Structure 1
Amino acid sequence: MLFGSRTGFGLEFHVERDPGLLCVDVFVGGLHVNTWDNAFYPPLLVKKLKDELSRFRTPTAPPVGFTSPSEAFRIAESWMYDDASTGTSSGPEAALARCVFLEWGECTDEVTAFAFPDGDRIHLACRVRDGGGAAWGTEAGREPTVVSVSRTLLLETLERGLVIAEREWAARLAAIKARSDTGDGEDVSSVRSP
């Protein structure tokens, strides 16, 4: 099940792949950003999708310092990873860095992504990192993957993803509880709900 698009922003669910986790491929501008791991812990994914939805519900002006998605990405990435930050949370660099996106746990640990609001548009910019270290292709001249999508389309993609994530998590909890009730499974009290 693909929501959104692979060339814009997309979430492709593979609900049949794992009984305990939720397999979701994430795409930004044609880049598959989590090829190394797509098995999300369902309650974490539910929480993160809700968090992203709350961020983008209302049209917002671009952050201070925004000139273009590529340049904003360069500034925010540098501020976050090159120890350029002074520890202050003010200033244009910090404002751009607060637009961080896709911080959804282990499955997206290897991508640096930002979602820069711009009224009814959201500019997504990302780069995949090598083993948690420096970003792939950070050499001069290599731009991040950038795509602009309508805020409405981004919200629809996140909302549809949230419906599936909540439904699948509820089904998994019910299965765990059923196994627990019959003595065949784990103790459902040890599994937290989002």
Structure 2
Amino acid sequence: MTLFGSRAGFGLEFHIEQDPGLLCVDVFVGGLQVNTWDNAFYPPLLVKKLKDELGRLSAPTPSPAWFTSPAEAFRIAESRMYDDTRTAISYGHEEDLARCEFLEWGECTDQVTAFAFPDGDWVHLACRVREVGGPDSGTEIRGEPTVASVSRTALVETLERGLATAEREWAVRLAAMKGRG
């Protein structure tokens, strides 16, 4: 097992040996493992999603004008996703809020609602793990979101190291499959 980043901030923990066709990765935000129900990613999808996150988060970006705190920004962004009503702040800021969506990495992260709010050299991560079924099927959302503020440098380094590992492991698995065929 190999951990990039940190469990307390943002971390990716690879379990290379667990599945020859998939990449098993535990994802941590603020001490919370956000994908306990499924950590077996399809390698090409994981590679693409890590590249997408890097493309979006690599350059320092000022915080949105409406940003006051990670927990409040999460509340606004989450209400935009799941409520028919819009807060005064979310109305007209749909594009800003959509750019903050984080961990949209397929089935393994379907149960987490996560956002990465830029703030210059920092990124504030906020997430909530939903009950099976989620708010769309009437499951009540409980508690405050999990929040972690991480330096942009540390976040980007974690994503880059995760991407390099995912690309390398996928190449090894692909070569093995071609060798068998």
| TM-score of the superposed pair, with normalisation by structure 1 | 0.85
CA RMSD of aligned residues (A): 1.9
Shift in alpha-carbon separation, 1:137–1:155, aligned structure 2, 3 A: farther
SS for the counterpart of 1:130 is: coil
CA contact (8 A) 2:130 2:141 kept: no
1:143 to partner: Cα distance:
1.4
Partner of 2:65: 64
Q: Residues of 1 paired with 2:84 and 2:173: CA distance?
A: 42
Name the count of aligned residue pairs: 176
- Flag structure 2 segments of 5+ consecutive residues without an equivalent: none
Q: In 2, distance between residues paired with 1:49 and 1:102?
A: 9
1:2 is matched with 3
| Aligned residue type for 1:62 | S
* Unaligned runs of at least 5 residues, structure 1: 181-194
Identity, in percent, stands at 76
Query: 1:40 aligns to what?
Result: 41
8 Å CA contact retained: 1:70, 1:146: yes
Judged with a 3 Å threshold, the aligned counterparts in structure 2 of structure 1 residues 97 and 64 are, in CA distance, closer, same or farther, namely farther
The 5 Å alignment of 1:132-147 reads 132-134=133-135, 138-139=141-142, 142-147=143-148
Query: Which residues of 2 match residues 69-108 of structure 1 at below 5 A?
Result: 69-85=70-86, 91-92=92-93, 94-108=95-109
SS in 2 for 1:104: coil
| Larger-gyration structure (1/2) | 1
Output the amino acid matched with 1:172.
R
The residue number in structure 1 matching 2:12 is 11
Deviations 1:105-150 (A, max 9, x none): 00000000000000000000000011141298734xx310001000
Residues in 2 aligned to 1:132 and 1:152: alpha-carbon distance in whole angstroms: 35
